[in-house]
Amino acid sequence: MNKLLSAFLLLVSFSSSASMITSESLNFDYHQYVNSSGTTTDSTVQNLYINGFDSSLGNLLNVTIELDSTLTLYKKVSGYTSNVCLFGCSVSANAKGEHSADFRIFENGAGYFYLNDNGRTLNISCTGSRGSCSQSNTQTYDYDLSLNGLALNDTSYFEQARFLITLINSVKFTQCKGNECYYNANARWQGNITVSYEYEPATTVSAPTTMPTLLIGMLLLFVSKRKRHA
């Protein structure tokens, strides 16, 4: 019994208060559609509210944000001519556009820009005869990011009950040239966001109480051995 007690005390003496990690996850899924007869400049914005940290669990040490998402872009340009062509028609159309995707966090008026995929150029063209041409293109991009450490080392920005994650997706065409040129585009961004919080527990075992506990455990072990040899 004494050996078990001393071993237990030794285990307690060497144990230290480990940090605690909690997390929460959110799914998102939205898309934007533009065409030559509609708007070409508006962005699609989705706001996600995170519950935030829990001060009763201890001091906030670090915040980790993981983004796992897929962005799919579908683009199409077409052209035709209504002219009467005795010897056939040559039709061409080309469109130029831009795409941008932003992953932002706003808290206490401060903004963090973790993913900024601006300036991606969208070019698509078609050529044909007999009065029409049409061409489409689909591109897929995967974002799998672990956003921790450097940008989040100042945890004071996250010490409130809630903060806001904003996703901004924008696709637009800037020009369309050719025979009766038309275009349309779809941008769909979907995925998952996981936010983890690392805490230092509010109650910790201080160093002054650790050493006496260790000495008591060693003493009990010594007494146990003396009784066994007696």
In the chain, the number of structural domains is 2
Spatial CA neighbour of 113 closest among 159, 44, 65: 65
Q: What is the DSSP letter of 210?
A: H
Task: State percent of the chain over pLDDT 70.
Answer: 67
Mean pLDDT (the chain, rounded): 76
Residue 108, sorted as left (phi over 0), alpha (psi -120 to 50) or beta, turns out to be left
Q: How far apart are CA 3 and CA 224, in angstroms?
A: 7
Residue 183 pLDDT exceeds 60 = yes
Q: Is the pLDDT of residue 219 over 80?
A: no
Where is average pLDDT lowest: 114-118, 165-169, 209-213, 217-221? 209-213
What is the per-residue pLDDT for 160?
A: 62
Range of the domain at 144: 19-204
Please name which of 72, 83, 180, 70 lies closest in space to residue 134, comparing C-alpha atoms.
180
Domain shared by 115 and 26, yes or no: yes
SS3 12: helix
Evaluate if residue 189 carries a pLDDT over 80. Answer: yes
* CA separation for the pair 52, 24 (Å, rounded): 9
- Structure tokens given for 30: 């939205």
Kindly state the average pLDDT of the residues 140-158. Answer: 67
Q: Are strands 90-107 and 110-116 parallel, antiparallel or unpaired?
A: antiparallel
- Same domain? For 99 and 188 the reply is yes
**Any idea which of 16-20, 36-40, 61-65, 183-187 has the lowest mean pLDDT?**
36-40
pLDDT band at 94; cut points 50, 70, 90 = very high
Quick one: 46 and 106 in the same domain? Answer: yes
Tell whether 1 and 32 lie within a shared domain. no
Integer Cα distance of 59 and 33 in angstroms = 45
C-alpha to C-alpha distance for 29 and 96, rounded to whole angstroms: 26
- 4: confidence class by pLDDT, cuts 50, 70, 90: very low
Mean pLDDT over residues 64-86, rounded? 87
3-state secondary structure of 11: helix
42 and 148 share one domain: yes
Identify whether residues 223 and 197 lie together within a single domain: no
Higher pLDDT: 2 or 126? It is 126
pLDDT tier for residue 11 given thresholds of 50, 70 and 90: very low
Instruction: Please check whether residues 112 and 5 belong to one and the same domain.
Output: no
Helix (H, G, I), strand (E, B) or coil at 153: coil
**Mean pLDDT calculated for residue range 10-36:** 75
Structure tokens at 93: 């159309």
Pairwise pLDDT comparison (135 vs 212), residue with the higher score: 135
146 sits in which H/E element: strand 132-147
pLDDT at residue number 5? 41
Q: Give pLDDT tens digits for 103-127.
A: 877 655 556 666 777 778 889 999 9
